[in-house]
C-alpha cells in the first residue's frame, strides 16, 4: 500500500537541473544541449488568438519565456487616423474580437467627452446592458475554458452553447452576433425589442443552471484542483509593478474595478460587490471569474428592472459626415472582463482622430507578466497559466 502511495506522490529530484552558478543564478547555455527550445503557438491553442511563447526548457521546467506577437497586427489605430469619427465606429470593434462592445463604448465616450455631449438616459442604460452582456458571453467561454486548457472540453461545449444564446439576444438587440456595432457616438442604435426581457431571463436561468453544472464538473474536480491550485502564483508585489488589473489583480487581493473606482454610465445606480481572493493562483483566478459571472447575471437583472423602456436613444450630433471634434485629449476607461480597458484619444480639431491609443489589459498580462510568471513552471502548465491571465492577442496588437 505504501508503495502504491509513493508511486502517486513521486516527485522528480530537481536539485541538479537546471544548473546554477555559485550565486544561485541560472546558467542557460544552449550549446550545452541540456536545454530545449519549444514554441508554444502561434497557432490558436484554443480560443485565445494567435500569439507565440518561446520557451527554453530544462527538462520539463521553463527557464526562460519570451512572448512573441505580430501575427494579428491589422493596424486599426493607424487606420482610424484616416477615418471620420463615425467611420471609426465599425473599425474599432475589431480591436478585441471577444468583447467588441468596449471598443464601441470607449470610442463613443471619447468623442462625447471631447465634444461635451450628453447622451439620453435610456441610451446610458442600454449601453450598460450591452457591456454586461459582453462580459457575460466572454465569461461563458473563459470560465469553462480554463478546464479546456487541461483537456476537459465538455464545459467549454456547454459554455459555447449558452454563449450562442446570448449572441441570439445580441442579434435581436443590435442586429449582429459578434460585432454588434450598437454603441454609436451620441447614443445607441435601438430600443429593446418586444419580449426581450423575458427571453433574457430565460437565458439567465439556463446560465445559473450551467454554473451549478460547471461547479460539479470543474471546481469540484480533483484533477482540476490538482492542476490549478498553487500553479501560476502572482505575488502581490507584482500587481502594481507590472500593471496587473481586473480578475488577475482581484485574485491577489486587490479590490480594483473601474465600475466601482471610476463609475461610468449607470453603475453608480446598481448594487453590486467586487469579489476578491488572496491565493492568486490559477484556481483563484478561475473562481473570481466564476463569481464575476454571477455578479453579471445579477447586474443584468437589475438593469432590466430599473431601465426606462422608451425615450430617445441618441442625442442630436453635428452632421457625422463632417463632425469636427474640438482639439484636446482624453483618457476614458471601462472595466472589461479582463480588467481596465481604456482609450486615449487625441483630437487636433479636425474630422479625423489624430491618435487613438488602446490601453488594454492583455499587453501587460501577456508580455510583461506572463514572461515572469512562466519561469519555473512545468511545460504542461504553460497553457493553463496563459489562459488564466485571459490574454487577448488581437487586443495586444490591434
Partner 1 sequence: MALKDILTPFTAWTNVFKPVVTIKDPFNDRPGAERYRGFHFNDTSKCIGCGSCEAICENEAIDLVPVEGIETKDGDSGLRPRVDYGRCCWCALCVDVCTTASLRLTNEYTWVTENPEDLRYTPGVDVKPWDNNELGWKKPEPNYHFFGQKRVSMPELHPEQRDKSFIEIVKGYSKEQAILEADRCVECGICIATCPAHMGIPDYIRAIREDNIEEGFKILYDTNPLPEICGRICTHKCETVCSVGNLGEALSIRWLKRYIADQVESEDYKRILQSDGIANNGKKVAVVGSGPAGLSAAHYLALMGYSVTIYEQFSQSGGMMRYGIPEYRLPYDQIDKDVNYILSLGVKIIYNTNVGKDISLSELKSKYDAVFAGTGLHLGRSTRIPGTDHKHVYQSIDLLNKITEGKEIHVAENIVVIGGGNVAMDITRSLARLQNIKYGKVSIIATSLEDENSMPADREEVVEAREEMATINPGWGPKEILIEDGNIKGLRVVKCLSIFDEEGRFNPKFDESNTNFFKADMIVESIGQGMDIEYISEDIKKDLEINNRGRIVVDELFQSGAKWLFIGGDIIQGPDVIHGIANGHKAAVGIDKYLNTNI
Please, which of residues 272-311 interact with partner 1 by CB under 8 A? none
Please, which of residues 17-56 interact with partner 1 by CB under 8 A? none
84 binds partner 1 (CB under 8 A): yes
Q: Which is nearer to partner 1, 61 or 172 (CB)?
A: 172
88 binds partner 1 (CB under 8 A): yes
220 binds partner 1 (CB under 8 A): yes
133: cell is: 452582456
Distance between start and end Cα atoms, the chain: 56
CA distance 134 to 166: 9
Residues touching partner 1, count (CB under 8 A) = 44
Exposure of 213 in the CB half-sphere (CA atoms within 13 A): 15
Which of the ranges 42-50, 241-249, 312-320, 380-388 carries the binding residues for partner 1, by CB under 8 A?
312-320
Point out which residues pair with 355 in neighbouring strands: 346
Least distance (Å) between residue 195 CB and partner 1? 11
Q: Which is nearer to partner 1, 93 or 300 (CB)?
A: 93
Are the beta carbons of 344 and 356 closer than 8 angstroms? yes
DSSP annotation of 210 reads H
Nearest alpha-carbon partner for 251 in 294, 291, 226, 288:
288
Which of the ranges 171-179, 232-240, 256-264, 371-379 carries the binding residues for partner 1, by CB under 8 A?
171-179
Nearest alpha-carbon partner for 125 in 260, 308, 262, 305:
308
Least distance (Å) between residue 126 CB and partner 1? 12
Exposure of 92 in the CB half-sphere (CA atoms within 13 A): 35
Which of the ranges 189-197, 233-241, 264-272, 278-286 carries the binding residues for partner 1, by CB under 8 A?
189-197
CA distance 60 to 330: 47
Q: Which is nearer to partner 1, 106 or 169 (CB)?
A: 169
Interacting residues toward partner 1 by CB under 8 A: 83-84, 86-91, 154, 158, 161, 168, 171-176, 179, 181, 187, 189-190, 193, 213, 216-218, 220-223, 225-226, 312-314, 316-322
Amino acid at each position: 500500500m505504501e508503495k502504491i502511495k509513493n508511486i502517486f506522490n513521486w516527485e522528480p529530484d530537481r536539485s541538479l537541473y537546471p544548473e546554477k552558478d555559485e550565486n544561485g543564478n541560472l546558467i542557460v547555455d544552449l550549446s550545452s544541449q541540456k536545454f530545449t527550445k519549444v514554441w508554444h503557438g502561434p497557432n490558436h491553442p484554443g480560443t485565445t488568438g494567435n500569439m507565440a511563447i518561446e520557451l527554453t526548457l530544462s527538462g520539463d521546467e521553463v527557464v526562460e519565456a519570451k512572448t512573441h506577437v505580430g501575427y494579428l497586427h491589422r493596424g486599426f489605430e493607424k487606420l482610424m487616423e484616416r477615418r471620420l469619427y463615425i467611420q471609426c465606429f465599425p473599425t474599432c470593434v475589431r480591436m478585441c474580437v471577444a468583447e467588441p462592445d468596449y471598443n464601441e463604448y470607449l470610442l463613443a465616450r471619447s468623442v462625447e467627452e471631447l465634444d461635451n455631449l450628453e447622451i439620453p438616459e435610456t441610451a446610458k442604460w442600454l449601453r450598460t446592458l450591452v457591456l454586461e452582456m459582453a462580459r457575460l458571453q466572454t465569461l461563458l467561454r473563459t470560465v469553462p475554458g480554463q478546464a479546456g486548457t487541461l483537456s476537459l472540453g465538455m464545459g467549454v461545449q456547454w459554455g459555447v452553447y449558452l454563449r450562442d444564446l446570448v449572441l441570439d439576444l445580441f442579434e435581436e438587440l443590435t442586429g449582429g452576433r459578434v460585432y454588434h456595432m450598437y454603441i454609436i457616438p451620441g447614443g445607441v442604435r435601438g430600443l429593446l425589442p418586444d419580449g426581450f426581457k423575458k427571453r433574457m431571463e430565460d437565458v439567465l436561468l439556463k446560465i445559473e443552471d450551467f454554473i451549478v453544472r460547471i461547479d460539479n464538473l470543474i471546481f469540484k474536480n480533483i484533477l482540476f484542483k490538482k492542476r490549478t491550485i498553487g500553479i501560476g502564483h502572482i505575488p502581490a508585489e507584482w500587481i502594481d509593478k507590472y500593471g496587473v488589473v481586473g480578475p488577475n489583480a482581484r485574485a491577489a487581493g486587490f479590490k480594483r474595478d473601474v465600475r466601482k473606482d471610476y463609475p461610468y454610465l449607470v453603475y453608480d445606480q446598481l448594487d453590486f460587490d467586487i469579489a476578491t481572493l488572496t491565493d492568486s493562483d490559477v484556481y483563484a483566478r478561475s473562481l473570481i471569474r466564476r463569481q464575476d459571472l454571477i455578479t453579471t447575471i445579477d447586474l443584468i437583472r437589475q438593469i432590466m428592472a430599473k431601465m426606462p423602456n422608451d425615450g430617445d436613444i441618441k442625442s442630436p450630433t453635428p452632421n457625422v459626415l463632417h463632425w469636427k471634434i474640438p482639439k484636446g485629449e482624453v483618457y476614458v476607461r471601462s472595466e472589461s472582463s479582463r480588467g481596465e480597458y481604456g482609450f486615449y484619444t487625441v483630437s487636433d480639431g479636425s474630422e479625423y482622430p489624430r491618435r487613438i491609443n488602446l490601453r488594454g489589459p492583455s499587453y501587460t498580462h501577456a508580455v510583461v507578466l506572463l514572461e515572469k510568471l512562466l519561469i519555473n513552471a512545468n511545460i504542461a502548465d504553460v497553457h493553463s497559466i496563459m489562459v488564466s491571465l485571459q490574454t487577448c492577442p488581437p487586443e495586444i496588437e490591434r
